[in-house]
């Protein structure tokens, strides 16, 4: 992987056009498929449904977002309704978030497998004001804070290329999440996010219960949050991410980072 991007041709005037041209040109030359052994992904010329690249071997879809400014908290995405529809129908592409330098070098590249994009991660933005070119349009942000560490895989970290073998093995370790029905994934990943935030290998049910208010806020329709937590810990156990040691004590089997 060569971290130098080609600078955009002068025909592109706007910052977003420049970023798009250079990042996609870079991706076509440098991206491999983290979901299989394919050394390349193909650029999709007429990108429908926010799909920028497709793996020719396993047909995994990728969307590449790039910016000079970088935040581990939030990434701006497109229309809220479209994104929610894609999340609910399990058709959102896997997300690649790139940060590049003013000299057109890739500094960070973050991979978020599509099955980590749940309704809790999609945050509605206020509608564009009257008088704006697309007045009333509602966009969204992808809240990276609401995605567990397991679903945030660095491909390039601080100008260093992470070995593809490591990236692929991390992807492989979370792939069982994709088998969960899309209606169950949101809760399971929200509880996993809480467990990762505890920051320890062994934890108790009471420690997870301390996050009942936050989980209730993400799921205002559910009044049995404690029952839901216990149920989701069983789901995470069945996925091989943690085990029940003894009553009320759990142990994580994988590292989230």
**Which spans of this chain sit near Zn ion (rule: CB under 5 A)?**
33, 35-36, 38, 55, 57-58, 60
Nearer Cβ to Zn ion, position 60 or 185? 60
Nearer Cβ to Zn ion, position 33 or 95? 33
Return d(Cα 51, Cα 118) in angstroms, integer: 18
Nearer Cβ to Zn ion, position 33 or 111? 33
Q: Which residues contact 233 (CB under 8 A, 6 or more apart)?
A: 191, 205, 208, 242, 244, 250
Nearer Cβ to Zn ion, position 43 or 230? 43
Return d(Cα 167, Cα 160) in angstroms, integer: 13
Nearer Cβ to Zn ion, position 62 or 203? 62
CB 56 to Zn ion: min, Å:
8
**CA separation, residue 180 to residues 27, 116, 188, 212, 246 (Å):** 30, 11, 9, 23, 25
CB 32 to Zn ion: min, Å:
8
CB 31 to Zn ion: min, Å:
11
CB 112 to Zn ion: min, Å:
16
Nearer Cβ to Zn ion, position 115 or 187? 115
CB 91 to Zn ion: min, Å:
17
117 φ, ψ to 5°?
-85, 100
Nearer Cβ to Zn ion, position 36 or 67? 36
Return d(Cα 89, Cα 184) in angstroms, integer: 13
């Amino acid at each position: 992987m060569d971290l130098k991007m080609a600078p955009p041709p002068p025909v592109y005037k706007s910052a977003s056009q420049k970023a798009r041209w250079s990042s996609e040109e870079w991706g076509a030359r440098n991206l491999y498929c983290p979901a299989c052994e394919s050394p390349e992904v193909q650029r999709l010329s007429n990108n429908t449904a926010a799909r920028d690249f497709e793996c020719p071997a396993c047909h995994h879809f990728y969307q590449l977002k790039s910016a000079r400014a970088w935040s581990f908290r939030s990434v701006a995405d497109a229309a809220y309704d479209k994104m929610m529809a894609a999340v609910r129908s399990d058709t959102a592409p896997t997300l690649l978030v790139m940060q590049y330098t003013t000299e057109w070098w890739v500094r960070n590249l973050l991979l978020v497998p599509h099955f980590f994009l749940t309704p809790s991660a999609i945050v509605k933005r206020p509608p564009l004001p009257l008088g704006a070119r697309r007045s009333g349009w509602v966009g969204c942000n992808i809240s990276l804070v609401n995605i567990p560490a397991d679903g945030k895989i660095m491909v390039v970290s601080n100008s260093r290329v992470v070995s593809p073998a490591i990236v692929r093995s991390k992807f492989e370790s979370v792939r069982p999440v994709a088998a969960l029905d899309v209606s169950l994934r949101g809760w399971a990943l929200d509880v996993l996010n809480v467990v990762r935030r505890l920051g320890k290998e062994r934890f108790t049910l009471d420690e997870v219960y301390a996050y009942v208010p936050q989980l209730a806020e993400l799921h205002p329709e559910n009044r049995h949050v404690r029952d839901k937590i216990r149920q989701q810990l069983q789901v995470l156990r069945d996925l091989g991410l943690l085990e029940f040691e003894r009553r009320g004590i759990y142990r994580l089997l994988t590292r989230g980072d």
